[in-house]
A and B are shown apart, each in its own frame.
Chain A
């Protein structure tokens, strides 16, 4: 079985500041890890994914995440926040059983 814990249900950052969203996972098999973004009243959009290979993965909109097996973490970062980054973000893990386990989500607000 696999699960995800997102630390912090709400994060507020200033425009231009670092965005850091924390995700820890639990998996009994080598995990595939994902970050999604959801804007109000829209579906989820895949930001980036880790499957195998390079542990630092780059995604869309300037986001990146680093897979750290020793810490069972997959934190999402963006060096400089933009107003358009205000949204809800979900971390997810797959254990290869056709399903994804999602975290509870983190809402990001960006202050001008």
Chain B
């Protein structure tokens, strides 16, 4: 079966520090991969998506970046965190008729 993992589950980081969130998918090959952010009261915001290794599309200009070093690995990074980067970060992959399956999420608090 296909599963998706995210880590860490929670993270508290000071403003200006770097960030690296990791997402891996098991049980499938060449999935489409997605990063979303949920800020309090603001719904789901698509940040990046990837349809293949090295292919990253950015949806929102900001101080975040994404990379896909391996087929089933998707990484979200920042060189310097802002307070506004706080939120719940979700990774997802596509299977079948474009439905997306989500990981458990990472709660990021920037202090």
Q: Which residues of A approach B to under 8 Å, CB–CB?
A: 32, 34, 36, 41-46, 49, 51, 90, 94, 96, 98-100, 102-105
Contact = CB atoms under 8 A, between A and B. Distances in A.
29 contacts: A32-B98, A32-B99, A36-B102, A41-B88, A43-B90, A43-B102, A43-B103, A44-B92, A44-B102, A45-B102, A46-B99, A46-B100, A46-B101, A49-B99, A51-B97, A90-B43, A90-B44, A94-B97, A96-B98, A98-B32, A98-B49, A98-B51, A98-B98, A99-B34, A99-B46, A99-B49, A100-B98, A103-B43, A105-B43
Nearest to B103: A43
Give the contact-size bracket for chain B.
Answer: 20 to 34
Contact of B100 (A41, A51, A100): A100
Interface of B: 32, 34, 43-44, 46, 49, 51, 88, 90, 92, 94, 97-105, 107
A105 B44 CA distance: 9
B12 to A, nearest CB: 15
B94 A41 contact: no
Contact of A102 (B43, B88, B104): B43
Nearest to B32: A98
A34 B94 contact: no
Closest 9 CB pairs of A and B: A43-B102, A94-B98, A51-B97, A44-B102, A102-B44, A104-B43, A43-B104, A43-B105, A32-B97
